[in-house]
Amino acid sequence: MTLDVGVLGYRFMGQAHANALARLPMFFPDAPEAKRHTLVGRDEDALAEAADQLGFAHTETDWEMALDEVDVFYNLGPNHVHPEPSIAALERDIPVFCEKPLAPTREDAERMAEAAAGSDAPAGIAFNYRYVPAIQYARNLIAAGNLGEIRHVRASYFQDWLADPDAPWEWRLDEDLAGSGALGDLGAHSLDLARFLVGDRAGEIERLSGQLRTFVEERPVSGDGSEGETREVTVDDAYTAQAAFANGATGVFEASRYATGHDNANTIEVNGSAGSLRFDLERLNELEYHAADERGFRTIMVTEAEDPYIDHWWPPGHVIGWEHTFVHENYEFLSSVAADEPYDPNFADGLAVQELMDAIERSDDAGEWVDLS
Amino acid sequence: MTLDVGVLGYRFMGQAHANALARLPMFFPDAPEAKRHTLVGRDEDALAEAADQLGFAHTETDWEMALDEVDVFYNLGPNHVHPEPSIAALERDIPVFCEKPLAPTREDAERMAEAAAGSDAPAGIAFNYRYVPAIQYARNLIAAGNLGEIRHVRASYFQDWLADPDAPWEWRLDEDLAGSGALGDLGAHSLDLARFLVGDRAGEIERLSGQLRTFVEERPVSGDGSEGETREVTVDDAYTAQAAFANGATGVFEASRYATGHDNANTIEVNGSAGSLRFDLERLNELEYHAADERGFRTIMVTEAEDPYIDHWWPPGHVIGWEHTFVHENYEFLSSVAADEPYDPNFADGLAVQELMDAIERSDDAGEWVDLS
Amino acid sequence: MTLDVGVLGYRFMGQAHANALARLPMFFPDAPEAKRHTLVGRDEDALAEAADQLGFAHTETDWEMALDEVDVFYNLGPNHVHPEPSIAALERDIPVFCEKPLAPTREDAERMAEAAAGSDAPAGIAFNYRYVPAIQYARNLIAAGNLGEIRHVRASYFQDWLADPDAPWEWRLDEDLAGSGALGDLGAHSLDLARFLVGDRAGEIERLSGQLRTFVEERPVSGDGSEGETREVTVDDAYTAQAAFANGATGVFEASRYATGHDNANTIEVNGSAGSLRFDLERLNELEYHAADERGFRTIMVTEAEDPYIDHWWPPGHVIGWEHTFVHENYEFLSSVAADEPYDPNFADGLAVQELMDAIERSDDAGEWVDLS
Amino acid sequence: MTLDVGVLGYRFMGQAHANALARLPMFFPDAPEAKRHTLVGRDEDALAEAADQLGFAHTETDWEMALDEVDVFYNLGPNHVHPEPSIAALERDIPVFCEKPLAPTREDAERMAEAAAGSDAPAGIAFNYRYVPAIQYARNLIAAGNLGEIRHVRASYFQDWLADPDAPWEWRLDEDLAGSGALGDLGAHSLDLARFLVGDRAGEIERLSGQLRTFVEERPVSGDGSEGETREVTVDDAYTAQAAFANGATGVFEASRYATGHDNANTIEVNGSAGSLRFDLERLNELEYHAADERGFRTIMVTEAEDPYIDHWWPPGHVIGWEHTFVHENYEFLSSVAADEPYDPNFADGLAVQELMDAIERSDDAGEWVDLS
């Protein structure tokens, strides 16, 4: 079976997924054959150039038209473009793979999750960090009980590209287009990782308290003819949150685009009664693990043949990079599609994270804890 | 001038300060001469043995009697013993040096701060981590503006001695004796460090939201004849908090006695618009510093001759330990006493931290943010 | 222009280079078009399967026949297969790209270098670690004088796959097939990196003293019907060496396949009068750099847009992996071929490293220093 | 019993040992009582001031006179002062504790070891790094067989105080006064640590090859009236060495005073068939340990109550510093003296290290390996 894949979006995420599709045959020969069929975008020239570089056979400026042509639909556009095309595809029972966060708002996310629930096609959300081998290894340790009773989760995601107040405005800084700022862009990953790692041991997050902060309210518009022009920043630059899991474990979450010195520092630490572990995306081949009956944290290179996905790549100790997570997730999603099997993380997971983000925003507004019921 | 020092408490803190007093003449020859005069405690035999080992000339089981004999009074007993002797000493204009947290409750702390305000004698609080050379170095960097506008502070203090549910009960687990648990024992340090490092750039913490957690409600009593006996844990095992500083900077705080793999991990990180820094007490000779106009964090050994206090000790690169912070603080406190000059951190600082702790507890009770007004 | 590439070898290195060729169009669109034309090997079935997976259009069991078909010849076979096909190709003025070490013996390497010198085609050697962005960054720092006068170089390469005395025999343990053991397999990389990084500041290595060691002399043969069979290990398990560079700088080199805890720890440190730097392949996105007029080593993520090759990949902070070095080197080699320009590292560099390896072996035999004249 | 201790030398090492003696009663109450009796030096004024600060009851400018007064003699002067007073004391059966290296030359060291062998008094050498708790822990692991068969030892000691060519001349740069440079000052520690850690598993070093290097031949003399004056550097600035242990293990050693970025980086790594360990003096409370049947290196804080010497100090996780090693070694040496029991490391150990240093120098001269027979 060959799957004709249509992809909406040809920038960062478009390239990340196109690359993943291109690499499957050599490294995951049992993956279903997936053709880069149609690339969807609005600017015809840029689209044609991208299709050429990314290896797509066709282009299309109207996503509805594209849905007629493809077996699988990847929605990799800005957040505000997630709902309608995804829902339309699901209504036609076309499998959808959507970038995170699921939607700009909780309401949109609910609509999308409903569409997914009513569709015969799988609807995946691209929480790619679940597919870091070290994260899979961590989850396996936790699931096997190696950490015992989960007591604490702390996750943060730090970048610093807005630390300079003169950094230009872009769509990620607009509430209508992005929904939220650091919270949705970075925090969504932290919240999903927390759910993924400890969900079946600590349960869901039941209560949340959060704060959002915007440090620079207006930013220059870049581009010719925009000299002196500025535009309002209507999303958060940073957020913090604390949480209570169903089993009583505490959670602390934080993200910022002002954390100077950090480019892409997505970290998570979990403490349990029988052990602890730590992960940092900037050293994504490593996992630090402490077993309470041993002394110290071990720095484990999760690059052994028996580690998740590693046997598909290189000999032990030959480190992989950020992009490999996309290959793994494309492999899993397409395999589910081909086998007509359920896939997760799916739109229900996307909605669950969206509800947590929404609760953080409501808590910030109200100045009080919010119960997820 | 010789200062006759009376010390209440002869366990961990008693030894830490006795050692500091003993070491001053060799390493801080300009310190005022301080005599280990009277050691105060209740158990006469244990007290006599401790006085012998710690080098005190006299012992006293009644602290009021001891106050008649000494020029300076160190209150190093359990938290519930802090208020009365300290207040009595201050009423006699005897300089007081009190361990942290200032008191078991905010009300006690207020009484103590009032006594200090009404006394001619200085009243210091032993926030010893201010005296880590790397922390002083960090504060100097921040004060000089090297971090620019402060955006984020995060501080945590992790231990794991209660992770085992069979670890025995002790006074630190009793609300009446200790006031609080991880919050007062560990969190007080984090909150003080945050104030010390960024206070004059970011201002005070104005709002706080917190949660406390007790994981194990009852613990075995140790000692002969106590087999099978248990006692209730009436303090927190862990806390988390988020904060807003006056300038809008966010704060995240956490401490736990259940963080497996951590013995004494007191860490703080500050991000500003012009740079960041990180500190970890388990590597107390090091400071990680990022300047936004450079690339990467530098790991600086704060062990150069020009670094705070280092010229008193050993040649560059010869690392010091935890105990040296007590020597530095005793030197500073006693020098202030001898010179009849104000000293900080003082009881007002102790009260400020106590108010933050109190706000965290009230926030936990009420499920909402608390304003420090 | 399209280059038809013939590749001898379809195992580890074959896949690494096939992958690199496959990825060029998407990430290095200005690279010459390179077709995976013919895959060369001896076992027809395995070869056919590999060609299918690696995307080669043709297979060939006779490398001489293959030379008739291709524009560029990659020699990725075991070391003993390097000389004849490479020489034959060069005699036909077919560009050759050969894996390291250049040859099993110095004599072979000399023949190959002579063939390269007499050919109109470029002859590259695949010292891929030159193409780690952090290594390029390091070289640029050194070349720009940031380290001042070079004083010390130390490079080591540690693996542990032979630490278990029952690990099976393979061709890498046979002198006739491999030439040497840890020295040629790992040490060749260290020696090349040293030359690459400091060569134009410290000059060449002028004197060497070395020792080789074989810890386990015989190993079991794996495979059906080989039970109880063993085979002799005729190469070194580990080597150490010390060196003197032309400018007086000292060098220390070491590699081992018995360094338990290390999978692929290729590290190099350089100290100069004005600064130092450190690199570890297991954290290949990072470089540690100390400038003598600053304090401490900075941990620099060499993942910024302006860093070597990074703008071809992902946004700042999105780490790359081991395999990316092959993409960079294929890009550079093929670009040189297409432009008919000289390429380095070339066979002269390969011979220079081979001479150092040979000197280490002779020093071990003779128990004395060996001058490279 | 009270031991009257006489100490020759009142600078760095004098203060380190005086401090150790002063701290014994509080932390090692079972140590023999040791009185800081007589401080020996040449400059009467400086000596009197030092005696006052360091707590000595008497001073003496003639070491022979001092020997009449004391029960134990500490020889902490420059290296060239080690032989005569130590031999004289041993001839009178006065226990001697001598700083390292044992002597400026092998011949002197042999005379000293002979004197020790002929004396009824113990003769200790102050290899203080044996007394780092993490080093003791490491030795225990190795002695218990946890590392299996020892394969590799590598030890280096890096400082950078001579990297600046204008750093002033001092006695450590003069062959007559110091014997050697980085080799004797730093390398002696590395060689002793190697012997201490692996000696009973790998045996002694049997062959050595070394090189010495002096980068700056002349340095300015500091002090009033010395403007423009320079003095010759007659010792090594750096050395490298490779070694073969009796069991076949390889050794690599290096030290430098030109390793920019390193103040006091004394590191050692050992690889065995069953595990590996690493130590760095700049993080002296930590030991990195890999067991071959586990994954990764564990970073162990050697600060638990059951760790060597730790129960004498502070609760778990409260780190100690460089100076504590002197307290431990004074405790052990004086306890041996008081109990009239043999002590090691002793002059035989000092001679063994001196022979290794001598072999490195001879190897450098001859350009060939030197056998220790």
Share of chain D above pLDDT 70, in %: 100
Per-residue pLDDT, averaged over C62-68, amounts to 97
User: What does the pLDDT read at residue C225?
Assistant: 79
Interface test with chain C among A319, A320, A323, by most C beta carbons within 10 Å: A319
Interface of B with A (CB under 8 A): 149, 151-152, 154, 156, 158, 160, 163-165, 209-211, 213, 215, 238, 240-242, 244, 248, 250-252, 254, 256, 258-262, 271-276, 290, 292, 296-297, 366-369
The answer, yes or no, to whether the previous bond of D101 is cis (omega within 30 of 0) is: yes
Residue D226 binned pLDDT confidence (cut-offs 50, 70, 90): confident
Which stretches of chain B are DSSP H helices? Answer: 12-27, 44-54, 63-67, 83-91, 106-117, 133-143, 175-178, 182, 188-202, 324-339, 347-366
User: Do D110 and D334 form a contact (C-beta atoms < 8 A)?
Assistant: no
Interface test with chain C among B146, B276, B278, B299, by most C beta carbons within 10 Å: B299
pLDDT, one tens digit per residue, over A142-155 is: 999 999 999 999 99
Chain C: give the shortest CA distance to residue B283, in Å. Answer: 14
User: Do B78 and B171 form a contact (C-beta atoms < 8 A)?
Assistant: yes
Using the predicted structure, report yes or no on whether residue A157 has a pLDDT greater than 90.
yes
Q: Residue A90 carries which side chain, given as an amino acid letter?
A: L
Partner-chain residue, chosen from A296, A300, A301, that has the shortest CB–CB distance to D299: A296
Number of alpha carbons in the 13 Å side-chain half-sphere of residue D44 = 1
Please work out, in degrees rounded to the nearest 5, the angle formed at the alpha carbon of residue D147 by the alpha carbons of D142 and D150: 90
Number of alpha carbons in the 13 Å side-chain half-sphere of residue B135 = 26
Q: Do B313 and D323 touch (CB under 8 A)?
A: yes
Q: Do B294 and C295 touch (CB under 8 A)?
A: no
pLDDT, one tens digit per residue, over A3-19 is: 999 999 999 999 999 99
Residue A223 binned pLDDT confidence (cut-offs 50, 70, 90): confident
The residue of chain B nearest to residue D299, with distances taken between CA atoms, is B261
Residues 6+ apart with CB under 8 A from C276: C147, C269, C270, C289, C290, C297, D259, D260, D261, D262
Q: Which residue has the tokens 């006692």?
A: B231
Subunits next to B (3 or more Cβ pairs <8 Å) are A, C, D
Using the predicted structure, report yes or no on whether residue A92 has a pLDDT greater than 80.
yes
Structure tokens at B183: 């919050």
Which sign does the torsion angle of CA B103, B104, B106, B111 carry?
negative
Chain A partners of B152 at a C-beta cutoff of 8 Å?
Answer: 238, 254, 256, 258-259
CA distance D167 to D162: 6
Residue B132 binned pLDDT confidence (cut-offs 50, 70, 90): very high
CA distance B111 to C187: 71
pLDDT, one tens digit per residue, over B317-362 is: 999 999 999 999 999 999 999 999 999 999 999 999 999 999 999 9
Edge-to-edge strand list for the sheet holding C96-98: C58-60, C33-40, C2-8, C72-75, C96-98, C123-125
Chain C: give the shortest CA distance to residue D278, in Å. Answer: 11
Phi/psi of residue D221, nearest 5 degrees: -90, 130
| E-assigned strand segments in A184-314 | 205-213, 218-220, 230-232, 238-245, 250-256, 265-272, 275-280, 286-291, 297-301
CA distance A10 to B60: 80
Per-residue pLDDT, averaged over B8-24, amounts to 97
Structure tokens at A200: 């079946």
Residue A100: CB atoms within 10 A of its CB come to 23
CA distance B144 to B142: 5
Residue B368 is classified by DSSP as B
User: What does the pLDDT read at residue C170?
Assistant: 94
Q: Do A53 and C29 touch (CB under 8 A)?
A: yes
Chain B partners of A187 at a C-beta cutoff of 8 Å?
Answer: none
Structure tokens at A360: 């953080």
Partner-chain residue, chosen from C15, C262, C319, that has the shortest CB–CB distance to A321: C319
Partner-chain residue, chosen from C26, C54, C304, that has the shortest CB–CB distance to A53: C26
pLDDT, one tens digit per residue, over D160-196 is: 999 999 999 999 999 999 999 999 999 999 999 999 9
Structure tokens at A327: 């290959």
C-alpha C296 chain-centroid distance: 31
User: Do C98 and C66 form a contact (C-beta atoms < 8 A)?
Assistant: no
How confident is the prediction for chain D on average, in pLDDT?
Answer: 97
Chain D: give the shortest CA distance to residue A33, in Å. Answer: 36
Residue A228 binned pLDDT confidence (cut-offs 50, 70, 90): confident
pLDDT, one tens digit per residue, over B226-274 is: 888 999 999 999 999 999 999 999 999 999 999 999 999 999 999 999 9
Chain A: give the shortest CA distance to residue D276, in Å. Answer: 13
User: What does the pLDDT read at residue C335?
Assistant: 98
Residue C163 is classified by DSSP as S
The answer, yes or no, to whether the previous bond of C345 is cis (omega within 30 of 0) is: yes
**Among the listed residues A261, A335, A290, the one whose alpha carbon sits nearest the alpha carbon of residue A20:** A335
Please work out, in degrees rounded to the nearest 5, the angle formed at the alpha carbon of residue B48 by the alpha carbons of B42 and B49: 115
User: What does the pLDDT read at residue D80?
Assistant: 96
pLDDT, one tens digit per residue, over C256-306 is: 999 999 999 999 999 999 999 999 999 999 999 999 999 999 999 999 999
The residue of chain D nearest to residue C269, with distances taken between CA atoms, is D259
Interface of D with A (CB under 8 A): 289, 294-301, 304
| Inter-CA distances, A6 with A42, A48, A66, A333, D298, Å | 14, 14, 7, 14, 47
User: Do D184 and D234 form a contact (C-beta atoms < 8 A)?
Assistant: no
Partner-chain residue, chosen from B19, B282, B319, that has the shortest CB–CB distance to D322: B319
Phi/psi of residue A266, nearest 5 degrees: -100, 105
User: What does the pLDDT read at residue D153?
Assistant: 98
Helix axes B188-202, B347-366, angle to 10 degrees: 110
The residue of chain A nearest to residue C284, with distances taken between CA atoms, is A319
Which stretches of chain D are DSSP H helices? Answer: 12-27, 44-54, 63-69, 83-91, 106-117, 133-143, 175-178, 182, 188-202, 324-339, 347-366
Chain D partners of C262 at a C-beta cutoff of 8 Å?
Answer: 276
Residue A35 binned pLDDT confidence (cut-offs 50, 70, 90): very high
Q: Do C300 and B295 touch (CB under 8 A)?
A: yes
Partner-chain residue, chosen from D156, D244, D259, that has the shortest CB–CB distance to C211: D244
Structure tokens at B350: 């102790």
Residue C224 binned pLDDT confidence (cut-offs 50, 70, 90): confident
Structure tokens at A228: 């002196």
Interface of A with D (CB under 8 A): 289, 294-301, 304
CA distance B242 to B250: 7
Q: Do B285 and D282 touch (CB under 8 A)?
A: yes
What share of residues in chain C are helix, strand, coil (percent, to 5)?
40, 25, 35
C-alpha D169 chain-centroid distance: 22
Please work out, in degrees rounded to the nearest 5, the angle formed at the alpha carbon of residue A369 by the alpha carbons of A366 and A370: 85
Chain B: give the shortest CA distance to residue D240, in Å. Answer: 22
Structure tokens at D111: 């005379």
User: What does the pLDDT read at residue D106?
Assistant: 97
CA distance D249 to D205: 9
pLDDT, one tens digit per residue, over D11-29 is: 999 999 999 999 999 999 9
Structural element, H or E, at residue A371: strand A370-371
pLDDT, one tens digit per residue, over C3-34 is: 999 999 999 999 999 999 999 999 999 999 99
User: Do D175 and D335 form a contact (C-beta atoms < 8 A)?
Assistant: no
Q: Structural domains in chain A?
A: 2-128 (3.40.50.720), 129-320+347-366 (3.30.360.10)
Q: Do B259 and A271 touch (CB under 8 A)?
A: yes
User: Do C8 and A4 form a contact (C-beta atoms < 8 A)?
Assistant: no
Subunits next to A (3 or more Cβ pairs <8 Å) are B, C, D
Using the predicted structure, report yes or no on whether residue B1 has a pLDDT greater than 90.
no
Partner-chain residue, chosen from C25, C319, C322, that has the shortest CB–CB distance to A318: C322
**Among the listed residues A84, A318, A99, the one whose alpha carbon sits nearest the alpha carbon of residue A189:** A99
User: What does the pLDDT read at residue B224?
Assistant: 79
User: What does the pLDDT read at residue D313?
Assistant: 98
Chain C: give the shortest CA distance to residue A356, in Å. Answer: 26
Q: Do A317 and C263 touch (CB under 8 A)?
A: yes
The residue of chain A nearest to residue B212, with distances taken between CA atoms, is A250
User: What does the pLDDT read at residue A248?
Assistant: 98
pLDDT, one tens digit per residue, over B279-301 is: 999 999 999 999 999 999 999 99
Edge-to-edge strand list for the sheet holding D33-40: D58-60, D33-40, D2-8, D72-75, D96-98, D123-125
Structure tokens at B186: 């560990």
First to last CA, chain D: 43
3-class DSSP state of C186: helix
Chain D: give the shortest CA distance to residue A266, in Å. Answer: 22
CA distance A11 to A52: 13
CA distance A345 to B340: 66
| E-assigned strand segments in D110-223 | 123-125, 150-158, 205-213, 218-220
Share of chain B above pLDDT 90, in %: 98
**Among the listed residues C109, C88, C91, the one whose alpha carbon sits nearest the alpha carbon of residue C100:** C109
The residue of chain D nearest to residue C154, with distances taken between CA atoms, is D254
User: What does the pLDDT read at residue A225?
Assistant: 79
CA distance B74 to B20: 12
CA distance D365 to D363: 5
Prediction pTM value: 0.97
CA distance B8 to B17: 11
pLDDT, one tens digit per residue, over A240-284 is: 999 999 999 999 999 999 999 999 999 999 999 999 999 999 999
How confident is the prediction for chain C on average, in pLDDT?
Answer: 97
Structure tokens at A286: 């490593």
Per-residue pLDDT, averaged over D86-110, amounts to 97
Residue A239: strand pairing partners: A212, A255
3-state secondary structure A218-229: EEECCCCCCCCC
Which sign does the torsion angle of CA D38, D39, D42, D44 carry?
negative
Chain C: give the shortest CA distance to residue D110, in Å. Answer: 27
Structure tokens at D116: 């020790």
Residue A226 binned pLDDT confidence (cut-offs 50, 70, 90): confident
Is the ipTM value over 0.85, yes or no? yes
User: What does the pLDDT read at residue B211?
Assistant: 97
Classify residue A367 as left (phi > 0), alpha (psi -120 to 50) or beta. left
